[in-house]
Structure 1
Amino acid sequence: MSRSTSIDLEDFVRESEEFVAAHHARRTAASAREAVSFSVLPEKPAEVEARELAEALTWRRTTYDAGFGWIDGPVEHGGRGLPSHFADAYRTVERRFQVPDEAYTRFSVAILCPTLLEHADATLRAELLSPLRRADLVSCQLFSEPDAGSDLASVRTRATREGDAWTVTGQKVWTSGAHYSQVGLLLARTEAGSRRHRGLTAFLIDMDQPGIEVRPIHQMTGGASFSEVFLDGAVVPDSRRIGPEGQGWSVIM
């Protein structure tokens, strides 16, 4: 596989086909129907979810190591540096094959990495972008709260600075993938007395720590796709702050 940034699109598509075909079977009419059929928030046994998660992470690492994991990403962060239409062409190729479900890594790839590229400092980008794109880290979104769902400007979760770190207290809700994520993109209020969009700051917080408890939300359908996340004295270093203090609204938007 050539990592050249001047490869012809036709050659790239052929290269992509050969790569994916070496790992996965092509979709048949039956497998295509199965791929688009779903239940509303289905309950998945823990062993099924664990297997699917492992398959998804393995495939993301395989694609990344082969140069297909961040086709239009910056070379200095492990990307291939090709135009975005090459990435579109690769996704078209992948859809023809029975590849693992990308839902487990979609937030990291589609939301968090672009946010870090635009708003994080150079040190944070160098530390996190490659592990997130390769799925060595899996992430979730910690925005919505019991009283701040569609109205995110009403966030009440507080982060109080103590030296070089912040102590976080509050509750998040409707968080997908919290129970298997290592890090979470957190929106918290850092300015006492601030209201609405002012005084909010974005952080990337470690999920595996004593101050964080994840509780599944069991729904009427029987599914438990979402979780509540309770933060009680959770700690996040200031080095994991994304963007300027008090500018979290512009970061997440």
Structure 2
Amino acid sequence: MGGGFAYESSEIDWCEDNYRHSENVVEYFNTISNISFFIISPIMLYLLHPYAKERNLAIHLVWTMMIFVGLFSAYFHMTLSFVGQMLDELSILWVIAASYSMWFPRSRFPSFIKDRSTFSNLVLVITVISTLSSFVKPTVNAYVLNCFGLHLLFILAMEMKSCKDQKVLRLAKLCGALWLMAIVCWISDRVGCSFWQSINFCYLHSIWHILIVLAVAHATTLIAYLDAHYEIPYSLPGLQYWPCDRWGYGIPHIVLTGTTKTHKRC
């Protein structure tokens, strides 16, 4: 297994020039851009706490695991090792699995599933199988993960069809736009590397890191809002932006106006 820890033992190599800024870091900017995970994750843990306390503290698992996604991603890009690649991709897989288990709408469960516990067990089985399968052809793992992410966005889009709240719809559009920009950066870095190298701009994957963590922040807030609307409607869920809601931009979060009186000031 020692070979799996070796630098550049992964079959994946992103567009950024290797060892250009440090002899110990293979992809410098792809590594340091993961700091966005360590900034956004604690903020989201703090902002989602009132909702998690009312709904289920296990919800904090999603953003706690996102910290590990940032850690493993930084390790992967620092070394381009096979172990780093697998840790990075599998941590993302388990974040997605946790999100499905806790937030997937009951109304969209398969007909043979009647409760969330059974659905969560099914997700667990699929995730374990996917984890084992990821070692068969590691180069396709990232594409499969993006398909899972696309499915979650599709479910959110379906949920938005019956929504009339303009603030919620705006959040959904921002979420979609951030994800679209992120995936364009990811694909462009993979398939258009020769062009970006010709203009000496090989940083699209590092931009992807920043955009995707912001997209996840918007998506989890939107999912939490829908979950609260369906599961704890007495809480009268609403949306705000941190650090100042009057700006209309920032880090989105859910507020439960039916259980606590929250007055945030700039």
Q: TM-score, normalised by structure 2?
A: 0.22
Q: TM-score, normalised by structure 1?
A: 0.23
- Larger fraction in helix: 2
Higher relative contact order (CA 8 A, sep 6+): 2
